[in-house]
Amino acid sequence: MSSYSHPHSLDGHAAIVTGAARGVGKGIAAALLSRGARVLLTDILDDVLANTTAEFTDAGFDAVSVVADLRDGDSAQRIDAALDAFGTVDGLVNNAVASAGPIPFVDIPAEEYERVHDTGPRATFRLMQAVHPIMVKAGGGSIVNLGSAAGTVGTHSFGAYAGAKEAIRGMSKVAALEWGVDGIRVNVVCPLAETDGLKVLRDMAPKQYESVVRSTSLKRIGDPTNDIGAVVAFLLGDDAAYLTGQTLLVDGGAGSFR
């Protein structure tokens, strides 16, 4: 697999990445840092977040972290930590969401539905509102929210998760329409990446994992840094200055809209 990068494309940028301790969030943070961005990493997994942050700082990157439970209505105030560290914020990546995994639609308990929506669209909504005046003051910015094929296509037994991800996509389109005049771009990325969940699937159900691989045109699962992170970095950078209100399916050709 080839790797690709745009060195220094994010020099001078300051960004926040939620759910950044591991998986896709960590990959996105790595891609931003390697292109020169300063990044605030947030996650609820305090020990994992500390290890990830240390890994980045030991490599010479400008990374700081804050432990946050996005179900907390005051979690958006964590943006203050980025202001304290960097002086401004011109990039926000809403990646974090909690999900219990596959549950038949009729069996989804109310508490699971609320948990997915609290950590997904509600947290995304609060963080977008909180960062808006900061980006306006900075002269503009870019927000990337993470969607999912669970919503754009529909995935069996992921009703709560699909609803949360489509709520995020709907909000993103409205914000893109309203905030363009402020120089703020809002886009959505729907990834297919080698996450911890897919690694478990690979080990526990290799035939099902292979069916996922075969569903892609490129016949491979995306790398969180080189494939997903690279696209997010592009969207946060100046090369994407005329791109907003879009959903990008970064999935190796597996996705479609119904």
Amino acid at 21: A
Question: Do 37 and 236 form a contact (C-beta atoms < 8 A)?
Answer: yes
Query: At which residue do the structure tokens 């999900």 appear?
Result: 99
- What is the rounded CA–CA span in Å between residue 164 and residue 148? 9
Report helix, strand or coil for 172. helix
CA 134 to chain centre: 20
105: number of Cβ within 10 Å: 11
**Which run of H or E residues covers position 197?**
helix 196-204
| Pairing label, strands 141-146, 91-94 | parallel
The Cα 16–Cα 127 span in angstroms is 10
Q: Which two tokens stand for residue 73?
A: 């209505």
Query: Which residue of the set 4, 113, 161, 242 is catalytic?
Result: 161
E strands present in 72-166: 91-94, 141-146
Annotation marks residue 161 as catalytic: yes
Question: Which of 242, 246, 234, 248 has the alpha carbon at shortest distance from 91?
Answer: 234
Backbone angles phi, psi at 52, to 5 degrees: -65, -45
Annotated catalytic residues are 161
